[in-house]
Amino acid sequence: MLINASGPKAALVLLAVGALTTATPAVAQTVATDNVRQSQDGTKAMAAAAKTIDGMFKGSSAYDANAFKAAAETIGSHSGERLSSLFEKSIAAPGSKASVNIEAERQAFDKLAADLSVYASRLSAAADRNPDVLSPQMQMRGGDVMTGGPLARKAGVRDVSSMSAEHAFHLMLQTCTSCHAKFRVRAE
């Protein structure tokens, strides 16, 4: 059975049949391509940056406008076209958990990547406006329920400037999750 297969050759077989989920981490690592490594470095940086911002909103780490902005910029720089282009050629590359669906649903993928950069800019701008403290304006508030509701979803992210930074951050995390749910193959 394919489930028990291992080694680069087996990985190619798995790829051919689209059964990426059964590739073992060892196989994935030995044959990872540059693009895959690049995307993984990028996503790790994004994950660390999201953690930094999350800690500040939760109050588990002190607010630091520069660090907050740097984290937002890190996410911004790895999103949008850069994120989209990383997955242009590496689809189905051994070691990548990128779903083969990306090519088929390129527009949806690019939209999620672009949304991410909109939220990142929103957060970066919020840091500029709040150099000293994480102000109440940055935090979730009643109006966010409106801007984040089904109506807002219909309108897309155009209303992002009117929502609190924290709300934009939550929507950003949802964008990470949505894209992973749709386009990342689960290896575990």
Residue numbers at the binding site for ligand HEC (CB under 6 A): 36, 39-40, 43-44, 46-47, 50, 75, 83, 87, 96-98, 109, 112-113, 116, 172, 175-176, 179-180, 183-184
Least CB distance to ligand HEC at residue 32 (A): 8
Residue 46 or 168 having the CB closest to ligand HEC = 46
Least CB distance to ligand HEC at residue 150 (A): 21
CB proximity list for 94: less than 8 A, separation 6 or greater? 8, 11, 12, 15, 23, 27, 28, 31, 32, 33, 36
How many of the other CB atoms lie within 10 Å of CB of 127?
Answer: 24
Distance of alpha carbon 39 from alpha carbon 116, whole angstroms: 15
Residue 21 or 146 having the CB closest to ligand HEC = 21
Asked whether the beta carbons of 123 and 70 are under 8 A apart, the reply is no
Radius of gyration of the CA atoms of the chain, in A: 19
Least CB distance to ligand HEC at residue 144 (A): 19
71 is written with which tokens? 């984290």
Residue 54 or 64 having the CB closest to ligand HEC = 54
Least CB distance to ligand HEC at residue 30 (A): 15
